[in-house]
Chain A
Amino acid sequence: MNLSYLFFLSSGLFLGWSLGANDAANIFGTAVGSKMVRFKTIASIAAIFVVLGAVFGGAGASETLGTLGAVNALAGAFMVALSAALAVYFSLRVGITVSTSQAIVGAIIGWNFYANKQTDYDTLAQIFATWTTCPLISGIIAIILYFALKKLIKCCGLHLLRLDQITRIGLILSAAIGAYALGANNIANVVGVFVPSSPFKPLNLGGIYTLSSVQVLFLLGALAISVGIMTYSKKVIMKLGNSLMHMSPMLALIVVLSQALVLLLFSSVSLHNWLEGNNLPTLPLVPVSSTQAVIGAIVGIGLAKGGRNIDWKMIGKIVVGWVAAPLMAMLICFVSLFFLANVFNQTVYLP
């Protein structure tokens, strides 16, 4: 493997780092914001589970992204990842919460246009559909959990202090599940475009387990996410954490759990196979946004509580961001590929 590969991969790793820094707030932001759990403890747990999720469960969503557009040249993959990262960065600068999942899809379509490759419109339609279904399912799960937990608490008559302890344990477990799901579902965003050009050899872990070349690539991407979680997520959490969603610990648990379950639903290959085997409607294995899932869950709870406290103006702003970010990524990618190919003489696609 030459150094140029690592250089090109750096844009993906940068994207991974920013994903870790931003999306960790969705997984355990409320737990840290309410000072229920120490940042170092929960960040370490999340970092470990992100790696496990990416390495052992990342194949499904990555495959779908590959179908959308197989970025077959390293320099092209570099620019796709960089465009997505820039689109996310610019959106954050203007105060709109967007997701890497959407930005990367926009960037891949930009590459398809530049390389004159046919975009798989069936896959694209499937991905677009998940951008609506993801927050919807998350909202439905949150509503179900809200009423179920409310009934359970009433029936059990648990003492408040014990409920507090259980909530704390629940938040840690949900963070672990959420981190695993984030790794499994979002690793495709980070290094998915580098899969076709991956030069890694299978890695034997002391004779116990052998990681395939793609898994080695995923491991690298997951480590970048973990570094993002450990180094920068605290700042994001402290900045957004409680101001974005000030809620009771139990509601925070519902939001985190709904988000984790939705991400799992959209990345679990075994669940997908089971549903398919039983002739049940399946959910596509697509990278979805944890931000979308969290917002879906918050709106769900808001509706369950009568819908009075929902800031629809803010929701509208976020939805505009969901449309604008992929378009911006597509445009940046298309223009940048032109420069990369014509000014820097790089091969950005193979015919």
Chain B
Amino acid sequence: MFNMKFSMFSGTRELEQKIDEMHDKVLESSLYFKEAFEIYLKEKRSPNYRRASKKIKNIESEADDLRREIESRLYIQNLIPDLRADVLQLVENIDKVINEFDEVAHKFYIEQPEIPEKYQAKFRTLVKQVCECAENMVICSRAFFRDFATVRDYSRKVYFSEHESDKTWASLKQDVFDSDMELAHKNQLSSLIGEVADVADKAEDCVDAILIFTIKRDI
């Protein structure tokens, strides 16, 4: 009996662990992104920044492997097709957030933008807000798997952070274009600000989908 019970749920348990690990990767990439950004502000493209950026790259490639493994396991596991499609989409959305962290960190490394002192505080706020948004998305997504009742609460937090990051993005962009920097410099900063803000947008898209999945599966 124990063996039967064990084998019946062992595949599911492994899959659960993989999905949990995928969520951990978002948290890790968010933490390292904040760290990398601080290093960049202080040291620009230093060996330290290179290491921090490399860490995010590694997390991104581990997350890609995890996503592929989850996808193949989802088919082996023989879940309800409707649920399988939802989980697949969710994992892909989570992966997009991690990819965005990696892309932005890499862009800083390649383009080495000059961030004037007076804009650094707002830039920090923006980074903090998008990371908060991604972290709340993780809590919301975990709740989808464990506790439907709290999904809505966490989704509110994500929407709030995303809204705040939008305001910061708009204000920062305005400050940049109101300045007397070279147009090329303005464009470069504007593009980077937009990319950072995109992390929150991707997290918001992910939560939008989670809310629909929850409505579909709520008892």
Interface residues of A (CB under 8 A from B): 34-36, 146, 149-150, 153-154, 157-162, 164-165, 167-168, 248-251
Are A159 and B16 closer than 8 Å at their CB atoms? yes
Are A162 and B16 closer than 8 Å at their CB atoms? yes
Q: List 5 A-B contacts (CB under 8 A).
A: A34-B81, A161-B87, A162-B12, A164-B80, A250-B217
Are A161 and B82 closer than 8 Å at their CB atoms? no
Are A164 and B81 closer than 8 Å at their CB atoms? no
Are A161 and B219 closer than 8 Å at their CB atoms? no
Are B79 and A164 closer than 8 Å at their CB atoms? yes
Are A160 and B146 closer than 8 Å at their CB atoms? yes
Distance of B155 from chain A, by nearest CB (Å):
16
A161 with B147, Cβ < 8 A, contacts A146-B219, A248-B218, A249-B80 known:
no
In the bound complex, what is the Cα–Cα distance between A250 and B218 (angstroms)? 8
In the bound complex, what is the Cα–Cα distance between A159 and B80 (angstroms)? 14
Note all chain B residues with C-beta closer than 8 A to A159: 12, 16, 145-146
Are A161 and B12 closer than 8 Å at their CB atoms? yes
Q: Please indicate which of the listed interface residues A34, A150, A164 has the most CB atoms of chain B within 10 Å of its own CB.
A: A164
Note all chain B residues with C-beta closer than 8 A to A35: 80-82
Q: Is B115 an interface residue (CB 8 A)?
A: no
What number of A-B contacts does a CB cutoff of 8 Å give? Answer: 57
In the bound complex, what is the Cα–Cα distance between A56 and B83 (angstroms)? 39
Are A160 and B80 closer than 8 Å at their CB atoms? no
Are B217 and A248 closer than 8 Å at their CB atoms? yes
- Select which of A157, A168, A249, A251 is within 8 A of B147 by beta carbon: A157
Distance of A175 from chain B, by nearest CB (Å):
15
Distance of A160 from chain B, by nearest CB (Å):
5
In the bound complex, what is the Cα–Cα distance between A10 and B58 (angstroms)? 72
Note all chain A residues with C-beta closer than 8 A to B80: 34-36, 164, 167-168, 249
Note all chain A residues with C-beta closer than 8 A to B149: 154
In the bound complex, what is the Cα–Cα distance between A157 and B216 (angstroms)? 18
Residue-wise, chain B 1-42 has the 8 Å CB interface mask toward A (1 for contact) of 000000011001101100100000000000000000000000
8 Å CB contacts to A: which residues of B78-125? 79-83, 87
Chain A residue with the shortest CB-CB distance to B84: A164
Residue-wise, chain B 179-211 has the 8 Å CB interface mask toward A (1 for contact) of 000000000000000000000000000000000
Q: Is B159 an interface residue (CB 8 A)?
A: no
Chain A residue with the shortest CB-CB distance to B145: A160
In the bound complex, what is the Cα–Cα distance between A146 and B218 (angstroms)? 11
Interface residues of B (CB under 8 A from A): 8-9, 12-13, 15-16, 19, 77, 79-83, 87, 144-147, 149, 216-219
- Select which of B9, B79, B219 is within 8 A of A153 by beta carbon: B219
Chain A residue with the shortest CB-CB distance to B146: A157
- Other than the given A158-B146, A161-B12, 19 more pairs (CB < 8 A) read A34-B81, A34-B82, A35-B81, A35-B82, A149-B219, A154-B147, A154-B149, A160-B83, A160-B145, A161-B19, A161-B83, A161-B87, A162-B13, A164-B83, A165-B12, A248-B216, A248-B217, A248-B218, A251-B219
In the bound complex, what is the Cα–Cα distance between A157 and B218 (angstroms)? 14
Note all chain A residues with C-beta closer than 8 A to B8: 165
In the bound complex, what is the Cα–Cα distance between A235 and B41 (angstroms)? 66
Note all chain A residues with C-beta closer than 8 A to B15: 161
In the bound complex, what is the Cα–Cα distance between A35 and B82 (angstroms)? 8
A161 with B81, Cβ < 8 A, contacts A146-B219, A149-B219, A150-B219 known:
no
Distance of B140 from chain A, by nearest CB (Å):
14
Note all chain B residues with C-beta closer than 8 A to A158: 146
In the bound complex, what is the Cα–Cα distance between A249 and B82 (angstroms)? 10
In the bound complex, what is the Cα–Cα distance between A34 and B217 (angstroms)? 13
Distance of B10 from chain A, by nearest CB (Å):
11
Note all chain B residues with C-beta closer than 8 A to A251: 219
Distance of B17 from chain A, by nearest CB (Å):
10
Distance of A127 from chain B, by nearest CB (Å):
35
**What are the 3 A-B residue pairs with the smallest beta carbon separation, nearest first?**
A160-B145, A250-B219, A35-B81
Distance of A152 from chain B, by nearest CB (Å):
10
Are B16 and A161 closer than 8 Å at their CB atoms? yes
In the bound complex, what is the Cα–Cα distance between A161 and B10 (angstroms)? 11
Note all chain B residues with C-beta closer than 8 A to A34: 80-82
In the bound complex, what is the Cα–Cα distance between A36 and B84 (angstroms)? 11
In the bound complex, what is the Cα–Cα distance between A164 and B217 (angstroms)? 10
Distance of A238 from chain B, by nearest CB (Å):
15
